[in-house]
A and B are shown apart, each in its own frame.
Chain A
C-alpha cells in the first residue's frame, strides 16, 4: 500500500528528471554518496519528533533492531560523524520510507525518492547557504515547471518574533509548527489553534499575526512545495562521541511532486515518450534468414550501435516495420536474399519510408 511499480514510461521520465537534478548537483562540484536503506533503530530514534511513529521498523529476527531510513539527512549526519569528516559537499539521490497515510492523489507515497544536496563545514557566513538557493533556482528553471518562488526565513528571526510577541520560550517549537500550517490553512484557523489548543494568549497571537502576514502568496495549487531545506548546525554533534559540531546547510528536492506534475503534463500534451533508445531494427523480409540477422545484429552491437531484432525465425516484413512504428525506432536495416548477394544492406527511414 502506498507504493507503486514504475513501468517503463514512468521510469524513463523519472530517469530524465533525476539526471537533470544530478547534473545540476555535479555542476556545483558535489560528490555522491550512498548509505544503506537499513539503519539501526537507535540511529533514527529521537531525531524526528512527532514523526517518529511514521518510521518503518523491521521485525526483531534475533539480531540488531533495524528500521528503514526516513530521510537522507540523518544518515548523512551519521556518515559525517562516523568518518570524522569536517567538510563535504555531497548529493544523495535515493528512496526513503514513511508510514504516512497515503492520500495518493496528493503525491504522498510511503516509498519515495529524495534528492538531497548538503554542504557541511565551517565556512564564511551565508556563502554555502546562497549556493543552495542558487541550486534550487537552477533546477526548477531547468525543469521548466513554470513560475516559482523560493520563500526564505530564519529560525532565529522566528524565535525573535515569538519572543517580542510575548510567547513563552517553552512554546517556541509548538508555535512554530502551528505557523508552519499557514501555507495550507488561513490565518483565522491558525490563530484559533494557537489560542485554543496551544494555549497562547489572544494578544500574543495577534501580534504574531501582524508579522507573519509579511509575505507573498505564490503556490502550485494542490501540490505543495517542490523543494525545502535550511541550516542545521547541531545534528552531526548529536552523533559525535565528543559532541563535535559540524555546521551543515542543505536542500531536499521534492522529486515525486515534480514527477507528478511532469507526468500530468505529458499526458495532457499527448506526447509519447520513448522507453528505449534503439537506433535500428535488423529486419529480414524472407524466410530462412535468421542466421544473417544474427550475424548483422552482432556486428552492430560490437560497434556500439543500439539495435534490436524480433525473436522469430521467419518474421513477416510488415510486422517488423510495425514494431518500429510502435516503439519509435527510427531506422530499419533490411537484409534480404538480394542484398546478401550484392553485399549491401537496405537502410529504411521509418518516418519517411525512403530506402537506400
Chain B
C-alpha cells in the first residue's frame, strides 16, 4: 500500500497542483489591516481636527519617502533596531522601511541644511512588533508628528508643543487627560545623586520607564536583580520617582539638598520652572503634571520629555482596555540632526507624536457604543426617476448637478423602482431626492423629497441647485 500511495503522491506532484485553480490569499500581512469606509470616516474626522490644530500654530507640512537607506536608520533606535523592516537586496541600494518620522525629519534637515522649521508630518511607519503580545499594537500604523527645529530662546517652543497636545486632546473630546512632564537632565541628575554609576544610566532609565505599567516593587527588583543596582540606590530612586506635582514640587526640588548640588538636575529644574511659567500663561497647567517617574524609551531625548495619558475609559463594556497607555508623547532632542550633518552641525529640536491609532480605537469604540450612525459619503442628493424610460433625463440632471458642484448620486439601473431608490437614501444617509417624472419634466420642475420628513416640494429646474445648497447648508 505504501508503494501505491507513494506512486500516487508522485503523480500528484507532477500535475503541478494549482493549474487552473485560483490561488486565493485572502489576508493582509500580520499586524496590518484595511480601513473600510466607516473607519475612514472616523479617521478623516480625527485627522482634520489634528491638522487644523497644527495649521492654527503655523506649521508647514512635509513628506518623506516610506523607505530610507538602511544606513540612515541604523544606530538610531537602540534595542528597537531589530524591529525594522528591511527590503530584499534586489541589486540596488539597501533599503529599510521607516520606523518613525523623527529620524527622517532629522535627515531632511541635515540634507537641506535647514536651521529652523516648524513642521507636521502625518504618515505610516513600520515596526516588526509582535502584535499578539501587545494588544492593539500594529506593525503598520499612522504617526502624527509636530516638531519645531531651531535655536530659540529656551522653553518657548517646548511650551507651544504642550499647548498643541492640550488643544488636540480637548478638541477630540476623549475625556479627561493628564500630560506628564519630566526632563532627561533631571532624571540623569537624580540617578547620579542616588548613586547609579554613569554606565547604568540608560538601562536604569528604561526600568523606570516601566512604572506606568508595572508597580514599583517589580521595577525595583528588576533594577536590583537584573541590572545589578545596589538596593540602597534603588530605594533612593524610589523616593524620588513617587513624586509628582506642579510649580510647588519644582521649587521644593530646587531646594533639595542632594539635587541642588547636581549641575544637570539644577539646569533641568530651572528650565522646568520656566516651562511651567509659560504654561501658566497659556492657561493649561490644570492638566500638566511634573512627574519624576516619566522616562520615555528613546535614546535621543536630551531635555524636556512628556507623555499624555487618558484618565478614564468611559466604556466599561470592553474587556481589554485598548487605549490604555499614552495618546501622545515627545520631548526635546538636540543631538539628532548633528548625527546626520557631515560637520556635526547641531539643530536643536523639540516635538510631539500624537498616538493616532489609539485615538482611532477609542473613538471607534465610542461610536459603536453610542449607536450614532456615521455616514461614509457626503452625498447631498439622489437623482431618482418615478417611471420607466427616464434614464436619459436622470443622466442629464445629475450631470447638471455635478457641474454645479453638488454631490449627487444615482442608481446604475435603466429603470429602477422608486422604492429601491428611496431605500438607498435611507441606507446611506442621503438627505434629499430629486425625482424626475414625466409630468414634472413637462412643467419644468423637479420634485424634491426630504428623506427624513417625507415631504415633497416642486422646485423649478433653474432653482434646484440653490435649493439643494440651502437645505443641506453646504456651499
Contacts and interface: CB of A to CB of B under 8 A. Distances in A.
| A and B interact physically | yes
Interface of A: 1, 3-8, 11-12, 14-15, 26-40, 42-43, 46, 56-61, 63-64, 66, 68, 78-79, 81-83, 90, 95, 97, 99, 111, 119, 121, 123-124, 127-128, 130, 134, 138, 237-241, 243, 275-278, 290-291, 294-295, 298, 301-302, 304-308, 311-313, 327
A31 B376 contact: yes
Contacts of A12: 60-61
Q: Chain A contact residues: over half helix, strand or loop, or mixed?
A: mixed
22 contacts: A3-B65, A8-B60, A28-B407, A35-B34, A36-B28, A37-B140, A38-B28, A40-B25, A42-B23, A42-B25, A78-B25, A95-B66, A123-B412, A128-B412, A134-B402, A243-B22, A276-B55, A290-B156, A294-B278, A304-B56, A308-B57, A312-B152
A311 B405 contact: no
Contact of A43 (B25, B117, B152, B412): B25
Given A61-B85, A99-B92, A308-B57, 12 more contacts: A3-B65, A5-B62, A5-B112, A11-B60, A26-B378, A38-B29, A81-B24, A99-B90, A127-B391, A276-B58, A298-B163, A298-B281
Contacts of B93: 1
Contact of B281 (A11, A238, A291, A327): A291
B471 interface: no
Contacts of A60: 88
B357 to A, nearest CB: 13
Interface string B378-394: 11000000000001000
A304 B413 CA distance: 46
Nearest to B28: A36
B87 A59 contact: yes
A15 B61 contact: yes
B239 interface: no
Contact of B58 (A5, A11, A307): A307
B86 A61 contact: yes
B61 A11 contact: yes
A37 B124 CA distance: 9
Nearest to B22: A238
Contact of A59 (B56, B63, B86, B111): B86
B395 to A, nearest CB: 8
A120 to B, nearest CB: 11
Nearest to A280: B58
B348 to A, nearest CB: 11
A31 B32 CA distance: 21
Interface stretch (B36-44, B312-320, B336-344): B36-44
Given A37-B66, A61-B128, A301 B56 contact: yes
Given A58-B88, A301-B167, A306-B56, A32 B402 contact: no
Contact of A82 (B27, B58, B153, B413): B27
A1 B37 CA distance: 34
A276 B40 CA distance: 26
Interface size classification for chain B = 35 or more
B300 interface: no
A16 to B, nearest CB: 11
A57 B27 contact: no
Nearest to B160: A311
B25 A32 contact: no
B59 interface: yes
Contacts of B365: none
B163 A5 contact: no
Contact of B119 (A8, A26, A38, A307): A8
Contacts of A63: 30, 128
Interface in B399-430: 399, 402-403, 405-409, 412-414
Nearest to B107: A5
Nearest to B123: A95
A312 B152 CA distance: 6
Given A33-B36, A40-B25, A59-B86, A301 B163 contact: yes
B128 A111 contact: no
Given A27-B402, A127-B412, A312-B152, A38 B32 contact: yes
Contact of A29 (B59, B89, B126, B379): B379
Contacts of B297: none
Contacts of A123: 412-413
B402 A138 contact: yes
Given A34-B34, A123-B412, A301-B56, A58 B85 contact: yes
B56 A66 contact: no
A58 B28 contact: no
B377 interface: yes
B67 A3 contact: yes
A130 B34 CA distance: 28
